[in-house]
Amino acid sequence: MAWSRVLGGSRVLMSAAKKSSSSRVSSPAAAKKKRVSSPAEVSAEMKEEKPTSGFMKPLPVSPAMKDFVGSPEISRGLVIKKIWEHIKLHNLQNPTNKKEILCDEQLKTILQGKDKVGMLDISRLVAPHFLKSD
C-alpha cells in the first residue's frame, strides 16, 4: 500500500503506520496464541477491579421506592431505567408532547404525587428517595 499517499507524506505518520503494519499477526494460528482472553473475560476483570461509584453505586432507598423497584438498595441509573421501563410498558408518555409523562398511581408515589412531570424532572423528583448512607 502506498502509505505516503494515504498519510500525505508525513514521516512521523508513515513510520507509525509501518510499525503498526509490521506488528500485525500474519497467520490465524499465531493470532490464537497471541490472544489472551475473550472480551467477556476482560469486561469481567474490569468489573472486579473498578469500585462502583457515582451513578452506579447502590444506595439505600425509601420504602416507597423500595415498593416500586423491589429492592432495598439500587443505583440511581437503574432506578431511572426501571421508571422508563414502567413508562414505556404502560404507555404513559403524552402522545402530543413526548417530553411530558402522565403519571399513574404507581409513579405518583415516587414522583411527589404529581399528575404530569417533564422528562428531565424525573431525576430531580427521585433524588429524595435515596437515603444517605454513612
Instruction: For residue 65, count other CB atoms closer than 10 A to its CB.
Output: 23
**125 and 59 co-located in one domain:** yes
- Quote the DSSP letter at residue 73: E
pLDDT of residue 54: 72
Query: How does pLDDT run across 11-46, given as a tens digit for each residue?
Result: 666 676 666 665 555 555 555 555 556 666 656 665
Is 83 among the domain residues?
yes
67-93 per-position pLDDT tens digit = 999 999 999 999 999 999 999 999 999
CATH of the domain at 118: 1.10.245.10
Asked if 83 and 17 sit in the same domain, the reply is no
How long, in residues, is the chain? 134
SS3 state at 74: strand
